[in-house]
Structure 1
Amino acid sequence: MKKLVLLVFLLIISFSKGEEQDVAKIVIDFRSGDLHIFENYLINGLANNIQYYRDNLKELKVVVVVHGDGYKFFIKNLDKSPYKDEVQLKKKQKELKERLENLVKFYGVRFEMCKAGMKARGISEDNIYPFVKPVYSALVGLVNWQNKGYAYMVFQ
């Protein structure tokens, strides 16, 4: 009986170590206001890379910490924000929101936003998408995720 318990214990340890090796983690410091970078690198790039990991029976966990000029892509009502004159963004806003929601729903991407920058820009918490979590500051968010083993990447 002791041998069986030991064998089960060793199997659990080996499976859990294997799981750790099959999970990659990245925190993205997103601060770009460029629509091309947002669409091609953040939206398309994340979906493609997460799918690559899945196709190889692995997992890519992604957290995006938004600050700088990146706020504008996560605002519900652009007319009630500093980005009210962003004509091109207004035209694409519905499509972009749906694509962001798909990243959350299908790929498990987590979005966080710097409250310090929101306050400085007059962006209220009720005017950001519900899947975006405000955090004290971008620095705190980035440090916390890196301390949890997430690799750091910046999109600016």
Structure 2
Amino acid sequence: MKKIIVLLFAFVSFLSAASDTKKVVIDFTSGDLQVFEKKILSGIPHHKLYFENRFEELEVAIVIHGDAYKLFVKNLQNTSYKKEEALVAKQPEYEKRLTSLVDTYNVEIYMCDVGRKNNKIAQEDLYKFVKIVPNSTIGLIDKQNEGYAYIPVAK
């Protein structure tokens, strides 16, 4: 009987450890391609893997504003960013990697609507997985009130 109780306790402990979920909201304002590649495209999968190896889950949300808008635009030709040669050259790769972040790692991506409008970016020119929030502050407040830890990523 003691063995059954010990095994049951161990099993319940394992299940509770396996269901531990960490949450992070990334306040992303950088338009620097290297920062984007390192902190977002490479960093998020590494962080997710770290927690998975510890039988924990990591939920990630990104709130975009500042100089970061251009990195989440599908059709650069309709924007002022079409003249940024390095960005235009990297955009097809970025689209694939961002799609992977959303589809494989369940990353949620939110864009500040005030800045989107100020930068004259049409909603139809964004990737389909980018969700619009009224402004970045509201997006960050909402996520922090849902229990997300705040991480700023700027240049």
TM-score between the two structures when normalised by the length of structure 1: 0.87
Q: Percent identity?
A: 41
Partners of 1:43 and 1:147 in 2: CA distance: 25
Q: Residue 101 of structure 1 aligns to a residue in which SS?
A: helix
Report the alpha carbon displacement of residue 82 of structure 1 after superposing the two structures with TM.
1.9
Task: Please report the RMSD computed on the Cα atoms of aligned residues, expressed in angstroms.
Answer: 1.8
Amino acid at match of 2:144: Q
The aligned runs of 1:64-75 (5 Å cut-off) are 64-75=62-73
Contact 2:28 2:64 in 1 (8 A): yes
Unaligned runs of 5+ in 2: 1-8
- The within-5 A match list for 1:92-107 is 92-107=90-105
C-alpha displacement at 1:39, in angstroms?
Answer: 0.3
2:54 equivalent to 1:56: yes
Write the distance in 1 (CA, Å) between the matches of 2:19 and 2:66: 33
Q: 1:36 maps to what in 2?
A: 34
- The answer to whether residue 42 in structure 2 is matched with residue 24 in structure 1 is no
Deviation at 1:19, TM superposition (A): 6.2
**TM-score, normalised by the number of residues in structure 2:** 0.87
Match of 1:46 in 2: 44
- Residue 138 of structure 2: which of 134, 137, 140 is its match? 140
Q: Which blocks of at least 5 consecutive residues in structure 1 are unaligned? A: 1-10
